[in-house]
Structure 1
Amino acid sequence: MKTKYFFLILFLVFSISTNGLYSQDDIIGKWWGNIDVIKTKLIIIIFFQKEDNKYEGSIDIPQQSVKNYTLSEIEFDKKIVRFILDVPNGKAEFDGKYYKDSISGDFRQSGISGTFFLSRAMDVIKPEVTEKPPYIEEEVVFYNGDVKLAGTLTLPEYSGKHPAVIMITGSGPQDRNEEILGFKHFQIIADYFTRNGIAVLRYDDRGVGESKGKTIDESTTEEFADDVLQAFQFLKSRKDINPEAIGLCGHSEGGIVAPLAASKNPEIAFIICMAGTGVTGEEVIIEQMKQILKAEEVPEEEINKEIELLKKMTQAAKTDTGWEELKTEIIKTKKESFEKMPEEERKKIKDENKFIEITTEAEISQLKTPWFKFFITYNPVPALEKVKCPVLLLFGGLDFKVLVDQNLKPMTEALERGGNKDVTIKVFETGNHSFQDAKTGSMSEYEVLPKEFMPGFLEFMKDWILQRVSVSR
């Protein structure tokens, strides 16, 4: 699960040399780097392009599930680079110097200041794949009412009716590859499965990339399940797909969506839940916060304070009451945090009261979204009890976002009560939330780990699927 914020600063909790695929005298291309402010580093990914002699750009902030947000007022004159990210709670201004392979400078937003650094991204300078993969890639579109969903269908090269998997992303706006910190989870899975005879459909979330319609925040987990059911109908209508061998594979929130969709359609052949949950979203995020703060060695007293505030947030969201009291509590907590902050850090914030007001309003606006209210109140157990198809439950032993001890038992018990006779459980002891081979599981570790799944992970899923469906060789 990924906490969702529009604001760039996580407040309470939460150089590559090139030979130049692009001219070194231009900023066109992809850049990686970070914003450094108030002792917090946020990874940013920026893409610049030029249309009709005018620069355009977009930004991703993976830690905050910000994907493909538009940049404006982009200026470049060989020495300086300036651009703005305009979000509801205040413009974020970037004012940097250009050094061909890097950009660095000042960052400002809502009365705070810091620095940012960018370097040309390796995957722009050095294309990932130059040879055609040994399978078919087809760009596809399907619809759920007035929501347009666009994606990529990969198919084995040989003819026949193929088994297929529909990939379901985790929370926050995600593209079809579920790319997080440069790790393209679903592209890697699709490539591996398709090379082994399994077709894969992966698609951009509604409102992301080529998909259109209501944004993620305006939608609910149940609506995402309806998107999946339309993806199923789309595949079922194709002559090159075996309609009796279409399954689902969901990661994180996708591991909630998969059983919900399967409970509504008994034709779904199997489901895989990668770090799915068996309790309400409220229980998940409370335990998630505890474990993340413990991993960061936050004192027990401070953890308890944060948990109490989080409970007040979820209560307000559930009942749609007490917002003014909650706002007062959040402001009080932020002011206490400021008082404990080193003087040199406080100096970076020009107007503390304005900063606190803006960030508090941003947090409350997120708590009021349809997505958040549904997520914290939804209990996955009733849907799991209705799932009769084969189920594979996958967990990481070092996943502090979805904990094995909290979720495995209620999931398996629900499936057993429903009479499901084919349930497989696999815990990858050193796996994190992304099923990378981790050492600590801490949030900061994700940035430095190889962008690949841990040994044996892909093979385990592939073997499990092929024990239940046949490829058409």
Structure 2
Amino acid sequence: MKKNSVILFLLLSLNLFSQDIMFYEKEISNKDNYEFYDYSVLQKKDNIKLTGTLITPKANYDKIVFIVPGSGKDTRNSHFILTELLLKNNIAVFRYDERGVGKSEGVFNNNSYTINEMTEDFQSIFNELKTTEKFINKKIGLIGHSYGGLITIGAVEKGLKCDFLIQWATPVERATESLKYQIKTGLNKQEKNLQYSDNETKFKVMDSISKIIDRNATLDEMSLKKVIYSTMKKYGYKKNDFGWYITFSSYLELLKKNFIPVYENIAIPTIYLIGDNDIFVDPVANTSILKKINNKNIDIKVFESLNHYLTSSKNLELNTSLYEIDEVAKTYVLDWIKSK
């Protein structure tokens, strides 16, 4: 990953034209060993068609896993190494093209495509497919990686029912805290969004904005921004110094979210996976929250010396190597799914 890039939240912001496969993705090998079923689902709210592919073993199988990748553009070819591992072990996989990407309709825009819309897109796909022939009488699980984990837990919050859930390097804590962690690790110092020379001031501004948002979360976007600007002015902060932080809908909606109550009450068998070298999501803070919650339905696994992608590589350039998940992590994920 290019270290000088501005990161929306957990992955690089991309401005690429729609295409069937992204340069950091790859089709699975040995395609003749599997069956492929293409689906097109209407997302009724925005009247766009979303497309994806179910890949199944040729032998009988009893589990299907939906894989939801992190932020940035993704097609039905993401997480290809994990996908092939599951298929080799008689577990079917469904992946989809995000809106405006691959064969899906709509427009992909990192600045305006919000967590709410992403969750609605995923829910539309899941709710439609679970009633179709290939999905009936199968155990259905979700793997949400990074931002994708926010989408899956958001869908659960809205009532989605699945048989098991994997939250992989997903922020459990509020977005403000995750963004502060990225400033500390040097991943995203928010130089444009927060034009202050020291982190202490940045953190004070971020905390103040977070509290204002919480007090006014029911307001529409324009009204909320006005309240933030006027309140921060009273606190002595100039709009020009922090305005970019709340300019885009995607950021503002993310700052509103609080999924901790969902984890407190979740009844779905869930496992939370993270590497102790993750510089995107704080492994200590997020696992501490889950330990404090102490929900018997949530298992926690921290992998020693692995990063956000559960690899040991220190090279986070955006290419296919990001998906080369460590053998220990792959085996652990596979065994956990098999046990459900």
Give the TM-score normalised by structure 1.
0.56
Please, which of 299, 313, 317 is the counterpart of residue 447 of structure 1?
A: 317
Contact 1:248–1:258 (Cα < 8 Å) also in 2: yes
Write out aligned runs for 1:122-271 (5 A): 131-145=30-44, 146-158=47-59, 160=60, 162-178=62-78, 186-213=79-106, 215-216=108-109, 217-265=111-159, 267-271=161-165
Shift in CA distance, 63/294, structure 1 to aligned 2, threshold 3 Å: closer
Shift in CA distance, 414/228, structure 1 to aligned 2, threshold 3 Å: farther
Is 1:68 paired with 2:16? yes
Choose 381-390 or 392-401, whichever is displaced more: 381-390
Structure 2 alignment gaps of length 5 or more: 190-196, 215-223
Match of 1:275, as an amino acid? Answer: A
Please, which of 245, 248, 255 is the counterpart of residue 376 of structure 1?
A: 255
Match of 2:317, as an amino acid? Answer: E
Number of residue pairs aligned between Structure 1 and Structure 2: 306
**Any idea what the Cα deviations from partners look like across 1:95-140, whole Å, max 9, x if unmatched?**
xxxxxxxxxxxxxxxxxxxxxxxxxxx999xx97775341112332
Q: CA deviation at 1:68?
A: 2.2
Give the equivalent residue in structure 2 for 1:49.
none
Please, which of 279, 284, 299 is the counterpart of residue 178 of structure 2?
A: 284
Contact 1:395–1:428 (Cα < 8 Å) also in 2: yes
Contact 1:259–1:387 (Cα < 8 Å) also in 2: no
SS of the equivalent of 1:69 reads: coil
Between Structure 1 and Structure 2, the one with more strand by share is 1
Shift in CA distance, 231/130, structure 1 to aligned 2, threshold 3 Å: closer
**Any idea what the Cα deviations from partners look like across 1:245-295, whole Å, max 9, x if unmatched?**
111110111112222222433631010000112211111111221122699
Structure 1 alignment gaps of length 5 or more: 3-7, 15-61, 71-121, 179-185, 296-300, 331-362, 469-473
SS of the equivalent of 2:141 reads: strand
**Any idea what the Cα deviations from partners look like across 1:1-34, whole Å, max 9, x if unmatched?**
x9xxxxx9958x77xxxxxxxxxxxxxxxxxxxx
> What is the alpha-carbon distance in structure 1 between the residues aligned to residue 3 and residue 168 of structure 2?
29
> What is the alpha-carbon distance in structure 2 between the residues aligned to residue 287 and residue 256 of structure 1?
17
Q: CA deviation at 1:314?
A: 6.2
Shift in CA distance, 259/396, structure 1 to aligned 2, threshold 3 Å: same
SS of the equivalent of 1:320 reads: helix
> What is the alpha-carbon distance in structure 2 between the residues aligned to residue 456 and residue 243 of structure 1?
31
Contact 2:62–2:138 (Cα < 8 Å) also in 1: no
Contact 2:272–2:299 (Cα < 8 Å) also in 1: yes
> What is the alpha-carbon distance in structure 2 between the residues aligned to residue 381 and residue 275 of structure 1?
15
SS of the equivalent of 2:51 reads: strand
Contact 2:213–2:256 (Cα < 8 Å) also in 1: no
> What is the alpha-carbon distance in structure 2 between the residues aligned to residue 229 and residue 448 of structure 1?
28
Between Structure 1 and Structure 2, the one with more helix by share is 2
Q: CA deviation at 1:237?
A: 2.3
Q: CA deviation at 1:467?
A: 0.6
> What is the alpha-carbon distance in structure 2 between the residues aligned to residue 239 and residue 422 of structure 1?
29
> What is the alpha-carbon distance in structure 2 between the residues aligned to residue 171 and residue 460 of structure 1?
24
Match of 1:408, as an amino acid? Answer: T
Give the equivalent residue in structure 1 for 2:332.
460
Match of 2:249, as an amino acid? Answer: P
Moved over 6 A (4+): 127-130, 312-318
Give the equivalent residue in structure 2 for 1:52.
none
The Cα RMSD (Å) is 3.6
